[in-house]
Chain A
Amino acid sequence: DQQVKQNSPSLSVQEGRISILNCDYTNSMFDYFLWYKKYPAEGPTFLISISSIKDKNEDGRFTVFLNKSAKHLSLHIVPSQPGDSAVYFCAAASGGSNYKLTFGKGTLLTVNP
């Protein structure tokens, strides 16, 4: 049973526009959520996170929104740039310091110049 779901395998947007990547989760024990970005031939790198006590976290062009009642989070990238083209993984955690991350399947974002 997949606890973290990214239902869109791919997304294509134009440079300068907004990219919205979505993620749903089923486990109500998750209390921390993260987005990772992965380029080919590299490991995933941390992008942005949000605690379940918040509904929004912003870092430059990246904003993550959390809707706990819907068990849904989204990553907004504004404006999108060609260098943002990568696979984006949504991840969720529970268990405090000794946690392990559960990942979604990823969404391939392509930003066209």
Chain B
Amino acid sequence: EPEVTQTPSHQVTQMGQEVILRCVPISNHLYFYWYRQILGQKVEFLVSFYNNEISEKSEIFDDQFSVERPDGSNFTLKIRSTKLEDSAMYFCASDGDTLAGGLQNEQFFGPGTRLTVL
């Protein structure tokens, strides 16, 4: 069964360093998302991406964040200069199955990347 994959599973970095989190969405899907979950808190929306551009972003997604689809399969989240408060689990998700008309229905999540900023 197709699934969203994410690498790495755990990333440790020093404050101020750049990190890139990688995701491979489900191949037939059109819409891609990043969410984050700080330990003990709700899952929060960061950004959505469609047709090679950002379609929506939250207040959290400031100039330190960027997303890219560098090729036909990968979807990345870059944090330019990490802060302690960026420590969280980052989830990638996708939906809009072209085989089902591309409708944004059931959203599928990857296993997450745990980012620890020291």
Q: Is chain B a partner of chain A in the same complex?
A: no
